Structure 1
Amino acid sequence: MELSGIGVWSQQLRYGDAAQAAEAAAELEELGYSALWVPDVGGPVFDAVGNLLAATRRAVVATGILNLWMHTPEDAASAHAALTAEHGDRFLMGIGVSHAPLIDHKEAGRYRRPLSAMAAFLDGLDAAKQPVPVESRVLAALGPKMLALASERARGVHPYLVTPDHTRKAREALGEGALVLPEQTVILCGSRDEAREIGVPWLRSYLSLPNYANNLLRLGFSAQDVESVSESLFDALIAWGDEEAIRSRVDEHRAAGADHVCLQVLTADSNAFPREEWRRIAAALL
């Protein structure tokens, strides 16, 4: 399974109309994107992965991430085996521990000892009737302990909502050979005001989650930066402007040690497939 170049991270490919998602996936592959990443915040994620695999021939389809609280290791391993048997070695299982406010919302106190929960989930994948190979899984690792676990138990990491500085730290923690596959949010726009109008409300929904806020504090941002979504924080997390601004940020991640960067395009309509933006980026970067 090759993971290089540039991919697309898209909630529309996961939660949008399945037929439209399949059509978009086929075009994304033809445009040259090497991987398609989808989130998992409830619902039949493996059906969505299968839909994208069936619509493509070469592209890797990855979960970014598989929420371990929503699946058993046995079911995840069985789905991985079935999809791999049908579509070849193109399903990368990105696994994450999600966030306490989301998991405890329906069952108070369920979110406990996330590092241990991840280790136990990986144990289950290893012990399954058809195990998920280490080479077919990466972890959503932000802090040093999860990065260390990923270096021992996975092929690499898929950090979300991070900066090139975090990519550098991940590469240092994992060493050479492991995969570092960061997500990078982008907005094609003509001004800072337009970028912030689209991006600030989106960012606030994530910055209210302790895992992301704490990671930004570790990277040197202040509590005030996080609370106010300061310009420096905004610019560090979201690449906005024209295609050259996006190219520059991708190059920063690559220089910091990224093997592959997946781009999440934000637009004013969060439910619409950003197909024109995907085409513009592909024409400039791929």
Structure 2
Amino acid sequence: MYIGRTGIWSPELRTAQDPVETHEAAAELDRAGWGALWIPGLGGGDVLGDAERLLRATGNAAVATGVFSIWRYPAEEMAAGHARLQQSYGRRLLLGLGVGDAATARGAGGVYRPLAAMNDYLDRFDRAPVPVPAGERVIAAMGPKLTELAARRGAGTHPFMVTPDFTATARSLLGTGPLLAPYQAVVVDRDADRARATARSFLAPFIGMAHYAGSLLRQGFTESDLAGGGSDRLIDAVVARGDVEAIGKRVRAHHDAGADHVALHVIGGRPGLPRAQWRELAPLARAE
């Protein structure tokens, strides 16, 4: 499945209060040329229903889950829903799935053994009455073992909160074929201090989670970088900020490091759909 070189990652496409505005915004993003619209799992809810609303609003962009937790959604139900939506909307749904954290696994009555749990879930995808093709599923992988699994059993990987250096390492593990589609947080703001504060307000809870903290430490950050919601060094490394030219430079750095696609998440500090910022970033929609 080809998803273009850039996409939009947006919780607001799931949470906006006005369904008409969400439909119109998705259609506008599609017309702008973004290759994929990514929606997060958000801890549960009707993620396939939300994906279908975006598929209905668009005609070209793929819709991707980025990502749903394997502990919250039975594989058989997700496979059946995926098959229905692919038949109805021209095979534009990409399922991104992740192992989450130990607390979520325990809450679902499972044992947190990420590699074994993901392999089992993919086995259940393969045994479904209509299996989910490997080319229509990606894995949220930040460690080498899951990255290698993503290359063997999926289209590739969608890593969260990573640097272009991480992208280069992931590409070396994946090889030349599989999809590498990193998440990239962006703040469209030329004021450095204000942009960092905006980024920190969103990322601080994730930095405090053990599995994300472990990923950041493997990327070369220190415990002091993780304190207080993230040091300036960490925030500047994982968040692109400034004008469209500065953000485009970060997108190109990921592409140069081996990314096939970069999913841009606008962090704005205001509630609602960040349509003004999406319009400002529109020149990056058809990035080469």
TM-score, with structure 1 as normaliser: 0.95
Aligned to 2:193: 193
Query: 2:171·2:258 contact (CA, 8 Å) conserved in 1?
Result: yes
Q: 1:282 Cα deviation (Å)?
A: 0.4
Aligned to 2:279: 279
CA shift digits 1:18-66 (9 cap, x unpaired): 3322111100011111100001121100000000000000100000002
In 2 relative to 1, CA 226–136 (structure 1 residues): closer, same or farther, beyond 3 Å?
same
Aligned to 1:234: 235
Alignment of 1:23-102 (within 5 A): 23-40=24-41, 41-102=43-104
Query: 2:6·2:284 contact (CA, 8 Å) conserved in 1?
Result: no
Q: 2 CA distance for matches of 1:268 and 1:219?
A: 27
SS in 2 for 1:80: helix
Q: 2 CA distance for matches of 1:183 and 1:153?
A: 20
SS in 1 for 2:71: helix
Q: 1:218 Cα deviation (Å)?
A: 0.6
In 2 relative to 1, CA 103–273 (structure 1 residues): closer, same or farther, beyond 3 Å?
farther
Q: 1:151 Cα deviation (Å)?
A: 1.3
SS in 1 for 2:145: helix
Verify: 1:253 aligned to 2:254, yes or no. yes
Aligned to 1:225: 225
**Structure 2: which 5+ runs fail to align?**
none
In 2 relative to 1, CA 108–52 (structure 1 residues): closer, same or farther, beyond 3 Å?
closer
Q: 2 CA distance for matches of 1:20 and 1:117?
A: 38
Aligned to 1:214: 214
**Structure 1: which 5+ runs fail to align?**
none
Query: 1:247·1:285 contact (CA, 8 Å) conserved in 2?
Result: no
Q: 1:160 Cα deviation (Å)?
A: 1.0
Alignment of 1:49-198 (within 5 A): 49-104=51-106, 107=107, 110-198=110-198
CA shift digits 1:158-213 (9 cap, x unpaired): 01111111111110000001100001000011211111221112111101111111
CA RMSD of aligned residues (A): 1.4
Verify: 1:244 aligned to 2:245, yes or no. yes
CA shift digits 1:83-136 (9 cap, x unpaired): 0010011000111111234554xx286451122111100000000000000010
Structure 1 stretch displaced more, 245-254 or 93-102: 93-102
SS in 1 for 2:227: helix
Q: 1 CA distance for matches of 2:237 and 2:261?
A: 18
SS in 2 for 1:70: coil
Query: 1:101·1:209 contact (CA, 8 Å) conserved in 2?
Result: no
Query: 1:188·1:277 contact (CA, 8 Å) conserved in 2?
Result: yes
In 2 relative to 1, CA 102–267 (structure 1 residues): closer, same or farther, beyond 3 Å?
farther
Q: Which amino acid is the alignment partner of residue 31 of structure 1? A: A
SS in 1 for 2:135: helix
Query: 2:55·2:63 contact (CA, 8 Å) conserved in 1?
Result: yes
In 2 relative to 1, CA 60–83 (structure 1 residues): closer, same or farther, beyond 3 Å?
same
TM-score, with structure 2 as normaliser: 0.95
Q: 1 CA distance for matches of 2:274 and 2:227?
A: 29
Q: 2 CA distance for matches of 1:258 and 1:129?
A: 33
Q: 2 CA distance for matches of 1:204 and 1:156?
A: 27
Q: 2 CA distance for matches of 1:85 and 1:141?
A: 28
Aligned to 2:269: 268
In 2 relative to 1, CA 8–108 (structure 1 residues): closer, same or farther, beyond 3 Å?
closer
